[in-house]
């Protein structure tokens, strides 16, 4: 039986061919190439690389939102910013919800960071819009009951006269509540002006948070 010996490098068997079959000793068997895909072989240190490319799949499919989806999210954010200016509308909540939908579809590190930043901005603005104007309201002597009356009439006015009716209803509600409490027109009107300033400040705080969220989202979409 003839035996053919081939050496790939000194002092190491690469292959031993026998006439009616083949036999590889243990040391040579370790160097035998293995197939990991169509026409792909690897030996030694290349084995792990081939297994990663053609064997088990380690990378997940990345799903990106299309242009139409991005436009819809942008429109929702814009509507939310406009809603901040209208009483009784959850404008900032709509902005945050649009970012939430976008991040849920993108599922990238940048998207989750933007969503986390938006959540913190919403929470901070909601706390600030009650604390800062409320302090001014207390210093001006305007009670929360007058603001509640203004808010109730703002909701009614919004359905009676869309958009503009909410503002008119708030002013009328605060003025009537203060007129009943104080019994004097100049004092009631002065309290109403203080209430309007406080509400305007809270709107500015909420609008600033919404603009920061919108700017962060837009920058992330354009840069990633």
Main-chain phi, psi angles of 3, to 5 degrees: -120, 130
| CA separation, residue 110 to residues 103, 144, 187, 209 (Å) | 9, 41, 52, 19
**Residuewise pLDDT in 10s, the chain (224 residues):** 444 444 444 444 444 444 444 444 555 444 444 544 444 444 444 555 545 554 444 444 556 778 899 999 999 999 999 888 876 567 899 999 999 999 999 999 999 999 999 999 999 988 887 787 777 777 777 788 887 888 888 888 878 887 678 778 888 888 998 888 888 888 888 888 888 888 888 888 889 999 999 999 999 999 98
Nearest to 96 by CA among 71, 72, 121: 121
Q: Is the pTM for the entire model greater than 0.75?
A: no
- Picking from 103, 156, 95, 147, the residue whose alpha carbon sits closest to that of residue 126 is 95
Q: Which residues pair with 34 in a beta bridge?
A: 42
Tell me the helix, strand and coil percentages in the chain, rounded to 5: 70, 10, 20
pLDDT value at residue 16? 42
d(CA 168, CA 186): 19
In this structure, which long-range contacts are made by residues 102-111, counting pairs with CB atoms below 8 Å and at least 24 apart in sequence? 102/65, 102/69, 102/70, 102/73, 102/217, 105/63, 105/65, 105/69, 106/63, 106/64, 106/65, 107/63, 108/62, 108/224, 110/220, 110/224, 111/220
């Amino acid at each position: 039986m003839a035996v053919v010996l081939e050496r790939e490098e000194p002092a190491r068997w690469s292959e031993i061919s026998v006439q009616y079959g083949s036999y590889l000793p243990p040391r040579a068997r370790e160097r035998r190439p293995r197939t990991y895909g169509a026409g792909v072989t690897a030996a030694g240190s290349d084995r792990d690389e081939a297994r990663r490319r053609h064997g088990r799949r380690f990378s997940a499919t990345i799903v990106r939102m299309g242009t139409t989806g991005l436009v819809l999210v942008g429109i929702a954010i814009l509507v939310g910013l406009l809603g901040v200016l209208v009483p009784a509308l959850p404008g900032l909540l709509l902005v945050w919800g649009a970012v939430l939908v976008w991040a849920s579809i993108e599922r990238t590190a940048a998207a989750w960071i933007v969503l986390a930043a938006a959540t913190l901005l919403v929470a901070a603005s909601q706390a600030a819009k009650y604390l800062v104007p409320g302090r001014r309201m207390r210093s001006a002597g305007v009670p929360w009951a007058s603001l509640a009356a203004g808010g109730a009439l703002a909701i009614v006015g919004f359905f009676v006269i869309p958009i503009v009716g909410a503002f008119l209803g708030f002013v009328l509600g605060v003025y009537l509540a203060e007129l009943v409490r104080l019994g004097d027109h100049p004092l009631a009107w002065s309290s109403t002006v203080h209430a309007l300033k406080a509400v305007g400040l809270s709107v500015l705080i909420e609008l600033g948070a919404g603009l920061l969220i919108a700017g962060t989202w837009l920058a992330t979409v354009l840069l990633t």
